[in-house]
């Protein structure tokens, strides 16, 4: 019987195609132009994949950007049913400025297994590595959560590093982390990048704070694949979004667990680097006897056993 993880190579090629298409715009200051190219390339390649796919949550509504849209059917319509969460360029400002941490990212899980957040574009997230699974009270004060994390990792709290987006809404949170003696890794954008650092325990020990809901669903797939811990809570930021959430009956106080965000172990997270970061390298462009080529660097997290695969692909273009 076919599984979502059987589509690994095809879906890696989806992310690679998007990365190659938009790579010439890295550092150009033209994030929308790059995003549009990534979306077009991703859409073209994903519709060649033999699956009955649907974009459960995409990018665009929050940022008014080019997008693969919610409920858009993707794939050939033949094969396994697949929920897709996607961000053609995660960290568009990082992409435009050639700063570390911008990626093409996609997550996949069996049809009906991804959480549907409705009209809530933002989520308050907590992400921890596997060692902390089941050991964190998500509603406890920051000091208690970091104390439990430090104990789970066998570290002094002063060694703990938390990834937080450098936004005005997080100033109190940042002060709370500092008050515990822990460190903060700040970034202007790209909380999937920070979350995966926490999932892999590579560069950061946790992620806290409010970021995009699409990124939250993508992160939940990565966390489930690696046996890591995650909690989410819907966190509308603008008046129109708050009103939509009220109309849809979305509970903005309820903590949503990792296994509610994605209910299957047959999950996959894929990230292809656009700019270099903690776990993937940027797209490299060169010339040899056969002409111009691009080399992409991709990480694939699949299955609850924590299978990590690195894929480097060189293609003449």
Residues 188 and 256 in one domain: yes
Do 66 and 35 meet the contact criterion of CB atoms below 8 Å apart?
yes
User: Whole-structure pTM over 0.85, yes or no?
Assistant: yes
Low-confidence stretches of the chain (pLDDT < 70) are 1, 59-66, 304-305
Residues 249 and 292 in one domain: no
Residues 274 and 252 in one domain: no
Residues 254 and 289 in one domain: no
**CA gap 50, 281 in Å, rounded:** 29
On whether residue 117 sits in a domain, the answer given is no
Distances (CA, A) of 101 to 91, 167, 207, 268: 7, 17, 14, 20
- For position 70, which CATH number holds? 3.30.540.10
Residues 179 and 288 in one domain: no
On whether residue 253 sits in a domain, the answer given is yes
Do 162 and 150 meet the contact criterion of CB atoms below 8 Å apart?
no
User: Residue 55's domain spans which residues?
Assistant: 4-111+268-316
Residues 135 and 245 in one domain: yes
**Of 245, 261, 277, which residue sits at a domain end?**
261
**CA gap 177, 172 in Å, rounded:** 9
Taking all residues of the chain, what is their mean pLDDT, rounded to a whole number?
A: 92
Binding region for Mn(2+): 35, 59, 87, 90, 215
On whether residue 116 sits in a domain, the answer given is no
Binding region: 35, 59, 87, 90-92, 122, 167-169, 189-191, 212, 215
Residues 133 and 98 in one domain: no
Q: pLDDT tens digits for 196-248?
A: 999 998 889 999 999 988 889 999 999 999 999 999 999 999 888 889 888 88
Residues 35 and 16 in one domain: yes
- For position 255, which CATH number holds? 3.40.190.90
pLDDT at residue 293 in the model: 95
Residues 200 and 168 in one domain: yes
Do 252 and 236 meet the contact criterion of CB atoms below 8 Å apart?
yes
Residues 12 and 104 in one domain: yes
pLDDT at residue 305 in the model: 62
**Of 261, 284, 306, which residue sits at a domain end?**
261
Report how many domains make up the chain: 2
- According to DSSP, residue 283 is labeled P
**CA gap 118, 9 in Å, rounded:** 30
Binding region for substrate: 90-92, 122, 167-169, 189-191, 212
**CA gap 242, 235 in Å, rounded:** 8
pLDDT at residue 62 in the model: 46
How many alpha carbons lie under 13 Å from residue 299 in its C-beta half-sphere? Answer: 23
CB environment 240-261: b (16+ within 10 A), e (fewer): ebbebbeeeebeeeeebebeeb
Residues 281 and 305 in one domain: yes
**CA gap 192, 88 in Å, rounded:** 12
pLDDT at residue 284 in the model: 95
Residues 186 and 241 in one domain: yes
Number of neighbours of residue 56 by Cβ within 10 angstroms: 26
């Amino acid at each position: 019987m076919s599984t979502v993880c059987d589509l690994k190579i095809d879906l890696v090629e989806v992310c690679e195609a998007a990365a190659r298409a938009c790579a010439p715009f890295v550092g150009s200051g033209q994030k929308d132009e790059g995003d549009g190219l990534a979306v077009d390339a991703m859409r073209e390649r994903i519709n060649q994949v033999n699956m009955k796919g649907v974009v459960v949550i995409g990018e665009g509504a929050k940022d008014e950007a080019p997008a693969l849209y919610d409920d858009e059917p993707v794939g050939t319509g033949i094969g396994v049913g697949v929920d897709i969460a996607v961000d053609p360029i995660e960290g568009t400002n990082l992409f435009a400025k050639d700063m570390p941490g911008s990626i093409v990212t996609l997550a996949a899980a069996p049809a009906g297994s991804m959480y549907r957040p409705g009209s809530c574009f933002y989520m308050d997230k907590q992400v921890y590595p596997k060692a902390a699974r089941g050991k964190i009270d998500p509603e406890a004060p920051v000091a208690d959560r970091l104390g439990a994390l430090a104990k789970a990792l066998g570290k002094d709290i002063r060694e703990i590093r938390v990834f937080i987006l450098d936004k005005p809404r997080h100033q109190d949170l940042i002060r709370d982390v500092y008050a515990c003696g822990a460190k903060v890794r700040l970034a202007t954008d790209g909380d999937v990048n920070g979350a995966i650092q926490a999932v892999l325990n590579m560069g950061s020990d946790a992620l806290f704070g409010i970021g995009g809901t699409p990124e939250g669903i993508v992160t939940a797939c990565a966390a489930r694949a690696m046996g890591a811990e995650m909690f989410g809570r819907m966190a509308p930021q603008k008046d129109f979004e708050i009103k939509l959430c009220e109309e849809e009956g979305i509970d903005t106080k309820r903590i949503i667990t990792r296994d509610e965000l994605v209910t299957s172990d047959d999950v996959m997270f894929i990230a292809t680097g656009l700019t270099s970061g903690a776990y993937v390298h940027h797209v490299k462009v060169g010339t040899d006897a056969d002409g111009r080529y691009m080399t992409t660097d991709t990480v694939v997290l699949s299955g609850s056993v924590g299978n990590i695969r690195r894929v480097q692909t060189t293609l003449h273009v």
